[in-house]
Amino acid sequence: MSLQLEHYPADEEHIKRQKAVARELRDTQWWKNLRGRGVCYYCKERFAAKSLTMDHVIPLSRGGFSTKGNIVACCKECNNQKKYLLPVEWEDYLQGRLGQDPKEQP
């Protein structure tokens, strides 16, 4: 079965509210500790804390929320590659299967 990417944008007000919540979380000790570990959630590589960015595992544009359970620290490269992908889509992307014909998948 081939993964079909369908993007259903969230309400603009939802995104605006959740971005405000994320800005508030950036100032918390929780975020500083998470970022201070220096490990990208996705690639598991080590980085200087200041080079890690905040990412929503379930993107705001896909209906995600700015909660501690949905926010991770990640490197800029992973954040830029992940964009608005859901976790299952991101896994398929990493495995190089996104958009392949089902017959071509292992």
The total domain count for the chain is 1
**Domain assignment of residue 16, given as a range:** 12-97
**Does some domain include residue 3?**
no
**Token output for 44:** 């598991």
What is the CATH number for 34? 1.10.30.50
**Does some domain include residue 60?**
yes
**Does some domain include residue 41?**
yes
pLDDT, tens only, 53-70 = 999 999 999 999 999 999
Asked whether the beta carbons of 11 and 19 are under 8 A apart, the reply is: no
The pLDDT value recorded for residue 18 is: 95
**Does some domain include residue 82?**
yes
Cα–Cα distances in angstroms (integers) from residue 64 to residues 57, 81, 89, in the given order? 8, 18, 15
Bigger pLDDT: 46 vs 86: 46
**Does some domain include residue 31?**
yes
**Does some domain include residue 91?**
yes
Across 77-88, average pLDDT? 90
**Does some domain include residue 53?**
yes
**Does some domain include residue 1?**
no
Run of H or E including 77? helix 76-82
Asked whether the beta carbons of 53 and 79 are under 8 A apart, the reply is: yes
The pLDDT value recorded for residue 102 is: 44
What sign does the CA torsion over 85, 89, 90, 95 have? negative
